[in-house]
Amino acid sequence: MNTSLTSSPHDPARASYQTIVKAGDPWFFRITKGQTIRITDIEGNQAVDTLFYNAVDPTERYSADETIRSQGNIYLTAGSALLSNRHRPLLTITADTCGRHDSLGGGCSAESNTVRYSLDKKYMHSCRDSFLLGLSRAPVPMGIRDLVPNINFFMNVPVTPEGGLEFTDGISAPGRYVELLAERDVFCLISNCPQLNNPCNGYNPTPAGILIWD
C-alpha cells in the first residue's frame, strides 16, 4: 500500500466551531463554501460514515462512483475531489493523517446486518438508522431516496486485483484526522458508525471529533 500523509496548518484553538459526535450518533450540519472541516478519529479505528449534499439543492449529492472513477483510484486521501452526481466538486480533501479512506463499503443497515451476520441481528444499531434520523434535521424534506453510498472515513476495505473485497482492521490510530475544504455550501451528514459485528470499529465504537474553521 502506498499512502502519504498530509498534516494541516490549522490551529484547533482558532476553530469557529467544535463538537464531539458520540459513538453511534448522527450529526447533520451546514458547512459554508470556504470553510474547512476536520474529522478526528479520537480513539482510533473508528469508521465515520459521511455524506455531503449541495445545501441549495440537495438532489445534488456526493457520488462515490463519480469520485472514484474521476481520480482513477478507489481510495480517498489528500487531493481527492469529492464529486457530486452533477460531476463537480462538493469538497476537496486538503489534509489526511490516516492515509486512505473507503468509499466502496457503504453504510451498515439493520437489513444488511441480517444478510451479513444473522437474521437475529436486525435489532442492532446501524448507520442507516442514524442517517435517517440525521436527515430528519434537514431544513428541507430529505429521506431514504437521498441515501446513497457514502464515504467511510478511517475505514479499511481492501480490494484485490482478483476482485476480492473484505472489511479488515483499520489503518487509523488515535488522533488521526482528515480535513476537507467546502467548494460550495454543503450539508454534512455523519453516522458515527455503531457496527459491532465486524472490525471496522475494532468492535468498540468510539467518539469522533469535529472542528470547523472559517
Partner 1 sequence: MNPPVSPPLLTQTLRGGGSWSMVLPRHTALRLTDPTGGANVAALFYNADRLTERYNMPDTLKAQHTAKLTAGHVLYSDIGRILCSITEDSLGWHDPIAGHSHAAMVLARYGEGTYQERRNDWFRNSHDLFLVELGKHGLGLRDLVPNANFFSKVVVQPDGTLTYVPGHSPPGSTVVLRMEMNVLVVLNTCQHPLDPDPVYAPAPVALEVHRAMPPSADDWCRNSCPENGRGFSNTETYFSLLPS
Which residues are near partner 1 by CB under 8 A?
A: 1-2, 59-60, 63-66, 68-69, 72-75, 85, 87, 100, 104-107, 109-116, 118-119, 128, 144-149, 157, 159-161, 163-167
Q: Which is nearer to partner 1, 143 or 174 (CB)?
A: 143
Q: Smallest distance, Å, CB 78 to partner 1?
A: 14
Distance (Å) of CA 37 to CA 89, 127, 180: 15, 21, 5
Distance (Å) of CA 26 to CA 11, 23, 83, 151, 160: 26, 9, 23, 14, 32
Q: Smallest distance, Å, CB 212 to partner 1?
A: 27
Q: Smallest distance, Å, CB 171 to partner 1?
A: 13
In the block, which residue shows the cell 454534512?
A: 188
Q: Give the pairing of strands 89-96 and 17-21.
A: unpaired
Q: Which is nearer to partner 1, 18 or 59 (CB)?
A: 59
Of residues 33, 58, 41, 82, the one with CA closest to residue 147: 58
Distance (Å) of CA 39 to CA 49, 93, 140, 175, 188: 11, 11, 25, 10, 11
Q: Which is nearer to partner 1, 14 or 145 (CB)?
A: 145
Q: Which is nearer to partner 1, 40 or 192 (CB)?
A: 192
Q: Smallest distance, Å, CB 74 to partner 1?
A: 5
